Homo-oligomer: A and B are copies of this chain.
Amino acid sequence: MSINSFGHLFRVTTWGESHGPAIGATVDGCPPGVPVTEKVLQHWLDKRKPGQNKYTTQRREADAVRILSGTFEGVTTGTPVQLMIENTDQRSKDYSDIRDKFRPGHADITYFRKYGIRDYRGGGRSSARETASRVAAGGLAREAIKAIVPDLQITGYMVQMGPHTIDRDRFDWDQIERNPFWVPDANAAIKWADYLDSLRKSGSSVGAVIEVTARNVPAGLGAPVYGKLDTDLAAAMMSINAVKGVEIGEGMSAAMLTGELNADEIRMGPGGPEFSSNHAGGVLGGISTGQDVVVRFAVKPTSSILTPRKTITRTGEETEIITKGRHDPCVGIRAVPVGEAMMACVLLDHLLLHRGQVGGNRGVIG
């Protein structure tokens, strides 16, 4: 069986294949009264859209989103919002050579073994194209969040590409929008451009680490112990194509800390409790502390490369394959708006769950 929905109350079901007529997201549980237009959603889709510079796939999709239901006179009504994006540049002929071969590192072989049938055109359902639906849903989530917590801000950016990491001392929020890598370090942006250019020319690819930070998140979000905020974020990020690791706050490095270093001390600030540090990444016991919520995820290099790789055919014969076509040397770049979208969906979902909290927030501190 397949499970194509996520979320508890803000529930997103994505549908569609890379080379079918359309893809989209069926969003149930969006609160009523949220102003939303196709134009507002389009902004986020454009951010993810391929073919914008030489570092991303040259597939050209208009990626124009249509709202087919759930709004009336520009405002959500509380009924399901259907967001549809028609596929315009399908070029299915490009994929005829992979019809009977399984591309290493791709989901070709696993879909085939699971379902006994697969839409081989561009990866079908397993294509990263599916993430456009997430970005559309995430755009809607952002508008709903805005109506509930106006100053909550979600920002994604790259912190590592291949062996190259950013210099945290140079971290500058304003740089993120000024380079094609969404990197918050101007120096890194320059170096990475050269690095990626040479990778692209050699037909190779490389992985990346994306960080998404949410600022001004209210304390109290999270549904322990199996709908913890960090649990849901881990699931959300790991569900993105090519992601192999997820970290909250200190992440894997938490293993190297002692208890003294790790425990963020608490003090009283003007608006309530504050913390001396944020090793926790804004989550304790699965519930938000009021600090920045910080999540990172690693994206593996795209498996579509020009170097021949050994594989087998559908009938079990050994062969080789080169994946031509239009591909990204670093899919991590386009994963940035996708990570933001997932953060938006998870946070809205928990805002709605917490709104339903009867009797909560009674014990206000201070």
Contact = CB atoms under 8 A, between A and B. Distances in A.
A138 interface: no
Nearest to A206: B258
Interface string A51-84: 0000000000000001011101001011111101
A209 to B, nearest CB: 5
Interface stretch (A40-48, A167-175, A182-190, A229-237): A229-237
Give the 3 A-B CB pairs with smallest separation, nearest first: A107-B285, A316-B366, A3-B227
Contacts of A231: 235, 238-239
Contacts of A109: 266, 273, 284, 289, 365
Contacts of A69: 15-17, 20-23
A150 interface: no
A113 B238 contact: no
B207 A254 contact: yes
Interface in A76-103: 77-82, 84, 102-103
Contacts of A116: 32-33, 359-363
A300 B106 contact: no
Interface residues on A, range: 35 or more
Contacts of A280: 105
Nearest to A22: B68
Interface string A223-247: 1111110111111011101001111
A220 B113 contact: yes
B205 A258 contact: yes
B77 A118 contact: yes
Given A15-B26, A256-B163, A285-B111, A356 B359 contact: no
A249 B244 contact: yes
A309 B144 CA distance: 38
Given A262-B207, A365-B314, A78 B13 contact: no
A257 interface: yes
Given A69-B20, A206-B259, A353-B356, A250 B254 contact: no
B15 A162 contact: no
